[in-house]
Amino acid sequence: MGQTIAEKIIAVHAGRPTVQPGQIVNVSVDIAMANELSAALSIKELGEWGIDHLHNPEKICLIPDHFTPNKDLNAAKITKIVREFARRHNVKWYFEVGRAGIEHAVIPLEGVILPGQLMVGGDSHTCTAGALNCFATGMGSTDIACAWATGEVWLKVPHSARLTFTGKLRPHVYGKDLILHALGDLTTAGATYMSIEYHGDVFEKLPLSDRFTMSNMAIEAGGKAGLFEFDQKTKEIVESTPRFIQDKPKYTPYAPDSDATYALERTYDVSTIEPLVARPFSPDNVAVVSSCTEVNIDEVVIGGCTNGWLEDLVRAAEVFRGRKVHPNVRVVVIPGSQRIIRQACDLGLPQIFIDAGCVFSTSTCGPCIGGHMGVLGEGEICVSTTNRNFRGRMGHLSSEVYLANPAVAAASAILGHIGSPDDL
């Protein structure tokens, strides 16, 4: 019986010729990642176990990004714990504030993870890295501590889902719209504990950033991971990372067998997909933008780990160029990493955002989790390019969040209500 991409990667890391869905296996871990919040809990677990030795510090990645730059004394305390832990154990992949950004953008762009590898992370959106043809999944802090101590974790081999996207994209339709369309079909429970494989010729026409967005939101369908096949675009980004340029590490891509078995298969014709939003209070509560134009808004957040890639910032800047944010709206732009900020500066994007009346921020998860840098007040309505819009996600329990792509978010900021660039 043939194997899917996830099954092949898991089998290799379990030291087995094949694996089957539902099977419990121990796997070796190439990278075990945590942010400051999950890392602090993992460090506490190690202390309670009496363990002060790490299996391999070169396979650990620590990135403070949720409440950083430190928003208060508690955040300072937590990041200090993680920083001192990283120094004490000579953790290879420790990224200090100002030299990193949001974990899910930093990891692929710096070359921390490679195609064919297996990564676990103390964050549900660890699955973002699956766009690079690796198996990446989120786990709890206890599991991450176990991976640090032993180099292994156990997992149940997931069933696989195959989502195929074909056809010609409409204007202002991007990866965010494709995954929202799929979520509207599957619901947030439709791919529970599945490894989602994305296929289709449409991805030849989209930059890799759209793949990151779609892998990122596999978890919103209940998925365990979200993976793409390896191609020339993958090769180009992998081999342009600082790690690859310096060390030229070997890696092994994987493709599914022609007779691989999938528990779920869907094919979507993208020519039928319009720009979309996910209405409160769920990523699967999907509607076309044109049906929501009467919704007035207070805030727009562009960026984050889902849509903070350079191409996303370019799409938003093209809409803002020569225009102003509506007087009743405030806009926060959050690039995914320091590297992306530098690239944006080289293209003159910050000036476009600032001239339009936006805040151009440092890389942080702050507004997405209702932590800082854009928390919503009572009854406020936000259009955000982030990945979740649960009740209270970005602030007050009575606030509302509509998820959208960067071009729609920018157009809405200018209009003062939900709308698309075609409405300007």
Residue 20's pLDDT is what?
98
Gap between the Cα atoms of 264 and 178, Å rounded? 17
Among the listed residues 374, 379, 378, 377, the one whose alpha carbon sits nearest the alpha carbon of residue 409: 374
pLDDT at 24 (0 to 100): 98
Report pTM: 0.97
pLDDT at residue number 1 = 82
Distance CA 163, CA 295 (A): 32
The torsion angles phi and psi of 51, rounded to 5 degrees, stand at -105, 125
Residues carrying CATH 3.30.499.10, the chain: 5-267, 277-423
Distance separating alpha carbons of residues 312 and 244, to the nearest angstrom: 25
Phi, psi of 372 (to 5 degrees): -170, 175
CATH classification for the domain delimited by 5-267, as one of 3.30.499.10, 3.50.50.60, 3.30.450.20, 3.40.50.720? 3.30.499.10
Secondary structure string (H, E, C) spanning 239-268: CCCHHHHHHCCCCCCCCCCCCECCCEEEEE
Phi/psi at 97 (nearest 5 deg)? -55, 135
Token duo for residue 95: 């990224």
The answer to whether 142 and 128 are in contact (CB under 8 A) is no
Per-residue pLDDT tens listing for the chain (424 residues): 899 999 999 999 999 999 999 999 999 999 999 999 999 999 999 999 999 999 999 999 999 999 999 999 999 999 999 999 999 999 999 999 999 899 999 999 999 999 999 999 999 999 999 999 999 999 999 999 999 999 999 999 999 999 999 999 999 999 999 999 999 999 999 999 999 999 999 999 999 999 999 999 999 999 999 999 999 999 999 999 999 999 999 999 999 999 999 999 999 999 999 999 999 999 999 999 999 999 999 999 999 999 999 999 999 999 999 999 999 999 999 999 999 999 999 999 999 999 999 999 999 999 999 999 999 999 999 999 999 999 999 999 999 999 999 999 999 999 999 999 999 9
Length of the chain: 424
* pLDDT reported for residue 334: 97
What CATH code would you report for 277-423?
3.30.499.10
CA distances 240 to 105, 158, 236, 301, Å, are: 14, 31, 6, 29
- Residue 396 DSSP class: -
Residue 60 CA to residue 90 CA, distance in Å, equals: 10
Which residue, among 299, 360, 345, 348, has the nearest Cα to 321 in the 3D structure?
Answer: 348
CA end-to-end distance (rounded Å), the chain: 53
What is the amino acid identity at position 5? I
Residue 277 dihedral angles phi and psi, to the nearest 5°: -130, 155
Cis peptide before 281 (omega within 30 of 0): yes
Helix (H) / strand (E) containing 277: strand 276-278
